[in-house]
Structure 1
């Protein structure tokens, strides 16, 4: 099967790198996004996100004429959908409205023989639902759910499984799980991805492919929850959790992860809830792990409150308005600008609402706070942070790992400072 033109619907952290990699193989790629500013930026050969090496690939692809962006879908041989799948309401129910909008947007330009791939991480059954939306919009075409192998349109699910900061490399080198609604759907998707994928393309059905991505991230979430709960228990018992984990990991069959302020990002903090939403009575461990990790930011907030009170007790003449709290990092992981589902952002929001102390945020990967926070919250520098009275390490950016232990009270959620001393509120 030949693919001369590919349409990439959604030009965010996954869609744009994927479009750029296809274009780097001399395939015409039409990127589609509702964000006019992002479209204009890409058409200038620039990028609107932070990802190593992506700027060079996009610049070359645009300059050579293999990549352009638009706000309206155009005819193509294959359509890849990489749009958000957030929550709706307060029960962590998946919101498929972005997928629905994308499906209905491409439906008018579909033609017989096209391939449609859902890349968005989705609850089980989302690919089938997308196929139904397409069929409703185009009754003149046949789809796998009614015509099987003989359908006019091929449909598959192929979730991304890349690490922010290494997306370009991992898109090429990682294996891909490809779940077609029929065998011919899987074969067509395999042929497309083999354009650039050096890893193995492994085929299955759509539901298993959807569940595979959710399983991978739920496995990681469960293990992180163990480390996070261990840090809370250790603080209660006066134990240095970092030393404890280091010692326990000397066992040949133990490999405990490192705790943190919670879990963020568009995958691990979200995907387990998709399993829970489909099987609420069965997913007991997965739900509990999510609740443990979702609780951690509140626990960190209380540690900061304790640090402020401790400083005030040791300095009777000081007032809360005079205590500056320096929060190091906002991203959901080190050395990126991605703030989606970041526990650091949640912690700063809670602190801004509950304490009168000024809050100084140090985040080298963003230029402004974008109105995210209420209260006295400002973006500052490392030099300004040294004057703060309370220091909260939230993200272990490379630049932060080089810092000496600051003067004042320390709340260290990443194990960056004072390896010999118990974490939490320092005794200084």
Structure 2
């Protein structure tokens, strides 16, 4: 089957680049998003997120008529869902409401022979739950959970596995995990992705595909927790953790990741909790790693508070400069960002004035509106305490600033 029209539900950090790559292969793409501003921006051939080279691809796709955005789903041959899957509450319960809303939105325009793919990183069983929501909304159609290979609608899970800042390249070059609810579902999904994927499309079932993405990010979370714990130990023992890790990684079977101020983003900081929620008594190490990485942010805050207390003098505020509030280097995404959390807490400290040095974000989040926002720091920043939390490229060319310094990324 050759796909002529596909629909991308969700035009965020994953949905828009995926839609643009499909459109660059001369496939008509109808992008759907609830954000009218994002829809209008895309239809002008512009982008509302930061991702290298994406602006050029989107502009060309819109100009050539292969990409169009709307707030209302329209008929297509394949529907790809890339919406948020956060957790809710103190128990980190997975929130599938965005997937449910997307499923109910596309249900009225589904037709026999359509393919529906859930790309959102999801807890195990989410694809089957989505299929149930679709079946409830369209009793006139048959689905894999009841009719297997003979179903009217094909359903699969295919998680994204790309690195922000390199999304366009990795969408094309990385292997893709295809988890169909039946073999025919997987086969059809492979046909779709092979229109642009140069890596291998590896077939499994939906549950294994869901767990694969969770396992990948949990592995990294555990490794980072080890690195973060090492950094705390090294700080106590007066050892340079960056040199230590560099030396340890010379061992042919050792690859310690880099420590930081915690772990953020929509994947590594969230996905392990999906495993913990599904198997709370078994996921002991995964849960501990999550807790350890969350603790690292509190550890950084304690170091900041201690230095602020040392520097405090009567009748003058202590000037603190925080470098970076995105969740990782060279992007504008603040989701689950430990740096953002630390900045918010520093802003609450009495007798502290805060400057945020963040070149990748046009307007700071509302929670930091009272802080001073500096997009450029070529001439240096006047502060009593400099706290580097994110290793943006522009910070690496800076000289070590004067005053007290807390460098959580080993840049200075």
Which bin holds the TM-score, normalised by the shorter protein?
Answer: over 0.9
Counterpart in the other structure of 1:114: 114
SS in structure 2 of the partner of residue 391 of structure 1: strand
Deviation at 1:384, TM superposition (A): 7.2
Question: Matches of 1:321 and 1:42 in 2, distance apart?
Answer: 48
Aligned to 1:45: 45
Cα distance between partner residues in 1 of 2:62 and 2:360: 25
Comparing 399-408 with 238-247, greater Cα deviation is found at 238-247
Q: Find the aligned partners of 1:199 and 1:320 in 2 and give their Cα distance.
A: 62
Partner of residue 356 from structure 1, selected from 340, 347, 351: 351
Residues in 2 aligned to 1:370 and 1:241: alpha-carbon distance in whole angstroms: 32
In 2, distance between residues paired with 1:307 and 1:412?
13
Determine if contact 2:81/2:102 at 8 Å carries over to the other structure. Answer: yes
Aligned residues: 411
CA deviation vs aligned residue, 1:9-30 (integer Å, no higher than 9, x gap): 0000000000000001111100
Provide the C-alpha distance between the structure 2 equivalents of 1:303 and 1:158, rounded to a whole number of angstroms.
42
Say which of 353, 364, 372 aligns to 1:378.
372
Aligned to 1:259: 259
* Match among 389, 394, 399 for residue 394 of structure 2: 399
Contact 2:317 2:351 in 1 (8 A): no
Decide whether the 8 Å contact of 1:225 with 1:292 is kept in 2.
yes
Match of residue 218 from structure 1 = 218
Note if contact 1:172-1:199 (Cα within 8 Å) is conserved in structure 2: yes
Instruction: Spell out, residue by residue over 1:111-160, the C-alpha distance to the aligned partner (whole angstroms, 9 max, x if none).
Output: 00000000000000000000000000000000000000000000000000
Tell me, yes or no, if the aligned pair for 1:264 and 1:340 is still in contact at 8 Å. Answer: yes
For 2:381 and 2:28, locate their aligned partners in 1 and report how far apart those are by CA, in whole Å: 51
Alignment of 1:179-218 (within 5 A): 179-218=179-218
After superposing on structure 2, the runs of 4+ consecutive aligned residues of structure 1 that deviate more than 4 Å are none
Cα separation, 1, equivalents of 2:367 and 2:19: 30
Residue 368 of structure 1 corresponds to 363
Report the 3-state secondary structure (helix = DSSP H, G, I; strand = E; otherwise coil) of the residue aligned with 1:364: coil
Which residues of 2 match residues 68-147 of structure 1 at below 5 A?
A: 68-147=68-147
**Does the CA contact (< 8 Å) of 1:321 and 1:358 recur in 2?**
no
Where 2:352 maps in the other structure, the secondary structure is coil
Aligned with 1:338 (options 333, 339, 342) = 333
CA deviation map 1:244-298 (0-9, x unaligned): 2223223333222211000011111111111001000000000000000011111
- The question of whether the paired residues in 1 share the 8 Å contact of 2:263 and 2:337 is answered with yes
State which drifts further: 93-102 or 332-341.
Answer: 332-341
Distance, in Å, in 1 between the alignment partners of 2:255 and 2:156 is 36
User: What TM-score comes out, normalization by structure 2 length?
Assistant: 0.97
In the alignment, is the contact (CA less than 8 A) between 1:311 and 1:409 conserved in 2?
no
Kept in 2: contact 1:261–1:343 (CA 8 A): yes
- For residue 21 of structure 2, what is the aligned residue in structure 1? 21
Segments of 5+ residues of structure 2 without an aligned counterpart are: none
Cα RMSD of the aligned pairs, angstroms, is: 1.2
- 1:309 and 1:387 mapped to 2: Cα distance? 19
**Aligned-partner Cα distance in 1 for 2:18–2:333:** 17
**Secondary structure, in 3 states, of the residue corresponding to 2:251?**
coil
The farther-off stretch of 290-299 and 229-238 is 229-238
Q: Which consecutive residues of structure 1, in runs of 5 or more, have no partner in the other structure? A: 313-317, 418-428
Contact 1:113/1:152 (<8 A) preserved: yes
- Flag the 1:321–1:107 CA change in 2: closer, same or farther, 3 A: farther
Please state whether the residue corresponding to 2:333 is helix, strand or coil.
coil
Provide the C-alpha distance between the structure 1 equivalents of 2:194 and 2:66, rounded to a whole number of angstroms: 18
Q: Check the 8 A contact 2:20/2:57 in 1, yes or no.
A: yes
Does the CA contact (< 8 Å) of 2:42 and 2:48 recur in 1? yes
- What SS class does the counterpart of residue 358 from structure 1 fall into? strand
For residue 348 of structure 2, give the secondary structure of its aligned residue in structure 1: helix
Instruction: Give the TM-score of the pair, scaled to structure 1.
Output: 0.94
Aligned to 1:153: 153
Deviations 1:166-210 (A, max 9, x none): 111110111100000000000010000001111100110000000
What is the distance in 2 between the residues matched to 1:94 and 1:410? Answer: 38
Measured after TM superposition, the shift of residue 383 of structure 1 is 5.5
Deviations 1:26-56 (A, max 9, x none): 1110000000000000000000001011111
Counterpart in 2 of 1:242?
242
- What is the CA–CA distance in structure 2 between the aligned matches of 1:54 and 1:81, rounded to whole Å? 20
Corresponding residue for 1:420? none
Corresponding residue of 1:308: 308
